[in-house]
Structure 1
């Protein structure tokens, strides 16, 4: 009875850990390096653009904005 809840919580926890790790390691505004912390303003526009326009976002840009396109077509098309 508790296993589905544990599975869902495990999945959500792994998503949170992934996002925190991604932000800490790849976010251009996160200043872990001491040399970057010393600078007041970072000159990294191209790095920020690369972070914002990642491969998943580029892929999803070409996809239709539907979760289940075949199911949507099935229920939206009229039968003659």
Structure 2
């Protein structure tokens, strides 16, 4: 009985509407980490999970490495200036054009 009451008290303490943003932020961070881990384990040419592939040693497979490193998001941001808010940055840093 005491364990059930303690569990119910803990449930009421942590599951409130004020804590939902914390759970959401933590869930997003965990899902990004899991996604990156799965991507590395399944797609990275330097990671070999199976014993047969590990026995091959060092491979000179540059095409596979380039495909892994030049993924879609990197192709999307390639050539863009590394700015978070380019409009505000240019407003404060570029001289006015008359």
Q: Which TM-score applies when normalising by structure 1?
A: 0.81
- Which ranges of structure 2 fall in alignment gaps of 5 or more residues? 1-17
The whole-number CA distance in structure 1 between the counterparts of 2:45 and 2:56 is: 13
Deviations 1:13-40 (A, max 9, x none): 0000000000000000110233311112
Q: What RMSD, in angstroms, separates the aligned Cα atoms of the two structures?
A: 2.0
Query: What is the rounded CA distance, in whole Å, between the counterparts of 1:10 and 1:23 in structure 2?
Result: 20
Match of 2:40 in 1: 23
TM (norm. structure 2) is: 0.68
2:35 paired with 1:14: no
1:68 partnered with 2:92:
no
Larger radius of gyration: 2
Bigger RCO (CA 8 Å, 6+ sep):
1
Tell me how many residue pairs correspond in the alignment. 80
Structure 1 segments unaligned to the other structure (5+ residues): none
Matched, 1:56 2:73: yes
